[in-house]
Every structure is written in structure tokens, then in C-alpha cells.
Amino acid sequence: MSAVLAVDDLVAGYVADLPIVTGVSMTLSPGELVTIIGPNGAGKSTLVKAIAGLVTVMGGRVRLEGNDITGIQTHRLPRSGVGYVAQSSNVFTSLTVHENLRVASHTLGAERAERLADAYEMFPDLKRYRDQKGRVLSGGQRQMLALGMALVCRPRVILLDEPSAGLAPAIVQDVFSRLRALADSGLALLMVEQNARAALQLSDRGYVMAEGAAKIEGPANDLLADPKVAEIYLGTRRAS
Ligand SMILES: Nc1ncnc2c1ncn2[C@@H]1O[C@H](COP(=O)(O)OP(=O)(O)OP(=O)(O)O)[C@@H](O)[C@H]1O
Ligand SMILES: [Mg+2]
């Protein structure tokens, strides 16, 4: 299937002449869940932020369904078809659940009420906490709210930076199952994860990033079975 998101030789960073992401190419097809793993400081978040227009792109291209969205202004992302779920502070804690969803859907027109209703149907917890402030939500509920906020604009692609960070193991599976189900419904999801094994087990493909570059890529099962990947990134390294 042709790619919905295509990243070509992307170079990006925070300071001029000091790229952190040094030439990454990747693709994402509809219905795919793709996970990026790699050590701390590899540039995983920087890559996703660069795709989302949050970090300066110094070279290369990002295309969404063939349209160039390189360096897109972040506030235009949702309408262009890309949802971005940041690693932390991804909901407004001083606003209620409903207010958060209203902020996320403010660019919508007549379809807004229906989209909000869809979000509540998909995440019953959000309905239960509709008038509660974001700050009272559990970690898992916050991730569901952040995901709901990304979904209200009906994206074709969702970018997620460590959606399982800080969650209890049982909740991690909950969140990952949601992501898998969204992919199965045709959405394309690109996520960065530290929880490498659990993420790859539910993913179609994966990329291993190190030092600002995608060093290894392949079907998730191949990465899980690769002894080099397993030793370094999947926690099978023996204590010496
Ligand atoms: N706001 C920033 N300004 C300058 N440098 C930054 C900034 N954020 C990150 N960096 C640097 O960019 C490099 C890559 O960081 P990045 O956050 O992309 O890594 P990561 O792979 O997401 O790591 P982690 O697994 O710890 O989340 C690091 O050297 C980091 O110090
Ligand atoms: Mg990161």
C-alpha cells in the first residue's frame, strides 16, 4: 500500500548547524502501527517533533498523502490530517475533560458535536469524568484524553511520543490495545516507545534509532527476533 506519511532524509535540530536528527527516512502506510525504539538521546522525540513542526527542519522532506508538509506550523497539523500526542503535559490539567475536547475540536464546524459524542463513546471513562478537571485523571485516563483530543479531527496519521510512559503495566496494555485497534481500523500510527518489547509485539514494523539516525528497520517480529536488537534494546542483556 502507498505511504500516507513519507519522511525523506530529514535533518532537524534545535540549534542552527547542530542537527540532532541527521538524515532519517521512514514511511507509514494506512493501517500500520510502527514503533521507533532506541536509547535515550537518540533523537526519537526530536524526529517526531520535527514531523509535527515543533523543531526546525534543516533538510529533507515530510509528505502527507503526497503533499509537502515539511516544517508545517503545528497549529495547522490537526486540520492537515496529523494528530500529535506529546510525551507529557498533553492535556490541560486546569480544564475539564469536556473543555479539553472542545479546545481540540475548536476548528471543526457542524460536525463538532458528533465528533465529541464519538470520543465519549470510544472512551467511556472520559464521559464519566466529563466535568472533572484534567488534573484528577489517572495517567491512563490522561493518555486516553490526549488520544481522544488527537482523534476528534479525524486524522489519517497519529504521532505518539511514549504513550506508555509512567503507566502501570496493566494500563500500558490497555493503551497499546487501543492503538492496535485504531491501526486495524485504517489509521496510521507512528509511536516512540521505551517499552520496546510490548510495543513491538503489537506493531507491524519498527525502526531502531541511534545517534540521530534510523540504524535498523524491519517487520516488528524480525526486530524482536534479532539478537543484536534484543540484547541492546529489549532488556535481555546479561548482567556482567
Ligand atoms: N529543547 C532542546 N534543546 C536543545 N537540545 C535538545 C532539546 N531537546 C532535546 N535536545 C537534545 O537532542 C538530543 C536528542 O534528544 P531527544 O529528546 O530527541 O532524544 P530521545 O531519543 O527522545 O530520548 P529519550 O529516550 O530520553 O526520550 C539530546 O542530545 C538532547 O539533549
Ligand atoms: Mg524522547
The yes-or-no verdict on residue 236 having pLDDT over 70 is no
Q: Which domain holds residue 201?
A: 5-90+155-233
On the 0-12 / 13-18 / 19+ scale of CB atoms within 10 A, 184 is exposed
Would residue 180 count as lying in a domain? yes
Question: Which protein residues are within 6 Å of ligand 1, measured from CB?
Answer: 14, 20, 38, 40-46
Q: Give CA separation, 133 vs 85, 121, 149, in Å.
A: 19, 19, 15
* Pairing outcome for strands 188-192 and 33-37: parallel
For residue 9, the one-letter residue type is D
Would residue 119 count as lying in a domain? no
Would residue 216 count as lying in a domain? yes
Would residue 229 count as lying in a domain? yes
For residue 236, the one-letter residue type is T
Q: Which atom of ligand 1 is nearest to the CA of 49?
A: 18
The pTM of the whole model exceeds 0.85: yes
- 157 bridge partner residues: 82, 188
Q: Which atom of ligand 1 is nearest to the CA of 192?
A: 22
Phi/psi of residue 48, nearest 5 degrees: -65, -40
Query: What's 166's domain CATH number?
Result: 3.40.50.300
In b/e form, how buried is each residue of 125-155, taking b as 16+ CB within 10 angstroms?
A: bbeebeeebbeebeebbbbbbbbbbbbbbeb
- Closest ligand to residue 20's CA: 1
pLDDT digit string (tens) for 140-194? 999 999 999 999 999 999 999 999 998 988 899 999 999 999 999 999 999 999 9
**Pocket residue to mutate for ligand 1, from 15, 36, 46, 195, most atoms within 8 A of Cβ:** 46
The yes-or-no verdict on residue 240 having pLDDT over 80 is no
Q: Which atom of ligand 1 is nearest to the CA of 46?
A: 18
Tell me the C-alpha distance between 24 and 130, whole Å.
Answer: 40
Nearest one of 212, 205, 207, 204 to 233, comparing CA atoms = 207
Number of domains in the chain: 1
Would residue 134 count as lying in a domain? no
pLDDT digit string (tens) for 20-72? 999 999 999 999 999 999 999 999 999 999 999 999 999 999 999 999 999 99
